[in-house]
Structure 1
Amino acid sequence: MWKLVVGFVIFAAIALFVISKGGDKIDMSGEKHGTEATHVPEPAPAPAPAPSAPK
């Protein structure tokens, strides 16, 4: 039983350490849908130039 308590205390300490190191970069508000989502799509790659016609 004491091993469970020690394991929980160690896990909680690690979790608090990670959260404190993350600072304001951690978003704990859950899933985002629609306009409030912050994902910015990458621009499409430029098309390859057409091959030169032989002369």
Structure 2
Amino acid sequence: MWKIAVGFALFAGLALYILSKGGDIDMSGEKHGADATHSEAPATAVSAPAAAPAAPAASEAK
């Protein structure tokens, strides 16, 4: 039984440490209305790189 208590204490301590190092973490739950503002900018689409030129055909390489 004491192993469960020690395990819980270690897990809780680790969780608190990780949350304290996480920066601006909002633990207040779900937001609605004017409170539901996002601080991150929307992601923009990234275009694919241009295709590499095709290798010369075997008949052309002499």
Moved over 4 A (4+): none
Identity level (%): 60
Considering fraction of residues, name the structure with more helix.
1
- TM-score by length of structure 2 reads 0.54
- Structure 2 segments unaligned to the other structure (5+ residues): 46-62
Q: How many residues align?
A: 43
- TM-score by length of structure 1 reads 0.59
Rg comparison, structure with higher value: 2
Structure 1 pair 21–42 and aligned structure 2 pair: CA distance change class (3 A): closer
- Structure 1 segments unaligned to the other structure (5+ residues): 46-55
Higher RCO, Cα 8 Å, sep 6+: 1
Q: CA RMSD in A?
A: 2.3
